């Protein structure tokens, strides 16, 4: 039996204890009194944060059908992106904004059980409340998809959602909630969740922050995800911006694999946002 197995089994007990000790009621979403939903801004956030890359229906009949179904193979088993469309039977159509806020900020469903971090809430938790509300209002404009979500295919003990309580204590950086006031960092770390793919992971699936954006094994087991740290990626600012806009690399290769759908999203951002992302990457050389 692997070390990982026993570790996780241990976490089940620790989590059960934590559950008793900590009250899981989170403070309500605090929206300023004068808040007015901005659906267009919500659409930009939708692309910047890549929801579509994972939740798009496998056979969509219109552009942004979020019926889910995409499979994510990992060391822990296969996860399937759920239906997050406005269908109240199969999607999240019956949710309140508060339910959505807790999912994005705390990685928990309306009944209080944990999501698995394959849903990158550990990045989205750094989004500010108005942005989560704008994104929510945009999601309301998308069609209902009436197909059920697929069940994940996970072995014991990886299927136990309580184990994630400990994972969250270790790897979901609560201290960073809403503290990002710099656009570049916000785009890369909170929305774009670039690190979720480009930073290597430890045995528990936590990000190895010492090797931030330095690439690593592909979590789906096939090949490697390249480093985008400037000590490895010797691209100029203009070259990075071009790639995020058209998918073309400096030697006219084209973005492939999962990056193709990331580029579909970044191509819809403003040029100034792409420049911010490029500047963030180049800045890593100074750290």
Q: Which residues bind ligand HEC (CB under 6 A)?
A: 49-51, 53-55, 72, 79, 81-82, 84, 92, 103, 109, 115-116, 118-120, 124, 188, 192-194, 196-198, 225-226, 228, 233, 240, 243, 249, 255-259, 262, 266, 277
Distance CA 253, CA 225 (A): 16
Which residue number, 173 or 261, has a Cβ lying nearer to ligand HEC?
261
Nearer to ligand HEC, 1 or 65 (CB): 65
CB count in 10 Å sphere of residue 111: 6
Q: What is the dihedral of CA 41, 52, 136, 219, to 10 degrees?
A: -110
**Shortest reach from residue 67's CB to ligand HEC, in Å:** 12
Question: What is the chain's alpha carbon radius of gyration, rounded to the nearest angstrom?
Answer: 19
**Shortest reach from residue 1's CB to ligand HEC, in Å:** 25
| Residues contacting 66, CB < 8 A, separation 6+ | 51, 52, 55, 56, 57, 83, 84, 85, 91, 139, 142, 145
Task: Considering the complex, state which of residue 1 and residue 256 has its C-beta at the smaller distance from ligand HEC.
Answer: 256
Nearer to ligand HEC, 9 or 154 (CB): 154
Cα separation, 32 vs 91, whole angstroms:
28
For the CB of residue 239, give the shortest distance to ligand HEC in the complex, in Å: 9
What is the closest distance, in whole angstroms, from the C-beta atom of residue 39 to ligand HEC in the complex?
14
- The C-alpha atoms of residue 59 and residue 269 are separated, in whole angstroms, by 25
Least Cβ distance, residue 257 to ligand HEC (angstroms): 4
C-beta closer to ligand HEC: residue 201 or 258: 258
- Written as six digits, the tokens of 22 are 């900590």
User: Residue 252 and residue 254: Cα distance in Å, rounded?
Assistant: 6
Cα torsion for 149, 218, 216, 164, to the nearest 10°? 30
Taking the complex as a whole, how short is the minimal distance between the CB of residue 262 and ligand HEC, in angstroms?
A: 4
Nearer residue to ligand HEC within complex by CB, 18 or 257: 257
Give the contacts of 139 (CB within 8 A, at least 6 positions apart): 42, 46, 66, 84, 86, 92, 100
The least distance separating ligand HEC from the CB of residue 189, rounded to whole angstroms, comes to 9
* C-beta of 14 vs 282, nearer to ligand HEC: 282
Angle at 25 between CA 23 and CA 29, to 5 degrees: 150
């Amino acid at each position: 039996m692997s070390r990982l197995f026993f570790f996780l089994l241990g976490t089940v007990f620790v989590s059960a204890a934590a559950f008793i000790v900590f009250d899981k009621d989170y403070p309500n979403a605090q929206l300023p009194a004068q808040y007015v939903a901005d659906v267009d801004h919500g659409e930009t956030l939708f692309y910047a944060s890549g929801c579509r890359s994972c939740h798009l229906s496998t056979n969509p009949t219109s552009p942004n059908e979020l019926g889910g179904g995409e499979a994510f193979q990992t060391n822990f088993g296969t996860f399937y992106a759920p239906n997050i469309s406005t269908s109240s039977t199969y999607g999240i159509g019956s949710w309140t904004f508060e339910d959505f806020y807790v999912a994005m900020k705390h990685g928990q469903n309306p009944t209080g059980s944990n999501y698995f971090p394959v849903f990158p809430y550990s990045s989205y938790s750094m989004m500010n409340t108005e942005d989560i509300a704008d994104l929510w209002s945009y999601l309301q404009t998308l069609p209902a998809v009436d197909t059920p979500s697929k069940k994940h295919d996970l072995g014991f003990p990886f299927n136990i959602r309580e184990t994630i309580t400990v994972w969250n204590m270790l790897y979901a950086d609560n201290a960073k909630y809403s503290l990002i006031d710099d656009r570049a960092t916000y785009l890369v770390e909170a929305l774009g969740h670039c690190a979720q793919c480009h930073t290597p992971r430890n045995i528990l699936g936590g990000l190895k922050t010492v090797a931030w954006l330095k690439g690593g094994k592909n979590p789906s087991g096939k090949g490697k995800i390249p480093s985008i740290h400037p000590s490895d990626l010797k691209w100029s600012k203009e070259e990075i911006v071009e790639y995020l806009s058209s998918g073309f690399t400096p030697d006219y290769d084209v973005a492939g694999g999962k990056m193709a759908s990331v580029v579909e999203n970044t191509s819809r951002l403003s040029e100034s946002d792409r420049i911010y992302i490029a500047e963030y990457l180049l800045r890593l050389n100074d750290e």
